[in-house]
Amino acid sequence: MMYEPFEERLRLALEKAISDRPRPRISGRTVLSLSVAATLALGVVAAMVAGAFAHGAGPEGSPAATRSASPAGPGDLERSFDTKQPLFVDVPRATTLTEAEAASPNTVAIPASMPTSVSTSTPEVWFSPNTKELGLRYGDQVVILESAWADGQDPATEYAAEAKEWGGEAGQLGGKPAWIAPASQSSYPDINMVHVSVGRIDVTVYSKTSLQDAESIAASMGPSNE
């Protein structure tokens, strides 16, 4: 009889446990679901079972991904960089920026420019009519996800709380509230994450090129109609 490896059984148990819980909107974000956070937590839990924390960091050193109907597939942030896969599970194909702007009830934010290390400056544009989330994918190097803050939420306060819980640093980028979480503090050692608030929109930049690129992109984000 074939048995699943222990780590695989643990991953499935974690994802089932989280999927069975009520899923309130956390920090006004629904991009990259709680199942992604479960996968991040897996790195910590599996390391605990082995007797050591992955990358020498405990739970405080594993920044949470934003929450959602995950891009590309449950619990797999890596797949969001796969241009052969849809960015959102409920959207079969990309759209255009013009169509996304017309369909979205929220401000659409775009970067003023891309670092030269990013091979393309023309993104795939994804919009989910169900969750009202927007995604921009620049080849297999950068993914930008956007969703609206809930009424009453203060971006700076939210970022500070998440940085305290998950690690990284809360502050400002380009005069905007931000939360910076380097790849070294994640279960994904090649993906850097930077959150920045553009008005009432929470923007998350995932970069495989460098943390500096993610910060530069996040700092340059602004409304597409300006």
Residue that has been written with the tokens 């594993």 in this structure: 62
Spatial contact of 66 and 181, defined as CB atoms under 8 Å apart: no
174 Rama class: left (phi>0) / alpha (psi -120 to 50) / beta:
left
CB distance 167 to 57 below 8 Å: yes
Q: Are 84 and 121 in contact (CB under 8 A)?
A: no
Task: Provide the strand spans (E) within the chain.
Answer: 109-111, 124-127, 134-138, 142-148, 169-173, 176-181, 192-198, 201-207, 221-223
Closest of 182, 175, 165, 158 to residue 221, by C-alpha: 175
> What mean pLDDT comes out for the span 7-21?
47
Is the overall model pTM greater than 0.75, yes or no?
no
Instruction: Give the Cα separation of 84 and 100 in Å (integer).
Output: 20
Poorest-pLDDT segment among 6-15, 50-59, 106-115:
50-59
Residue 185 reports pLDDT greater than 60:
yes
Average pLDDT, the chain: 76
Q: Which residues pair with 142 in a beta bridge?
A: 138, 207
Residue 111 amino acid letter: P
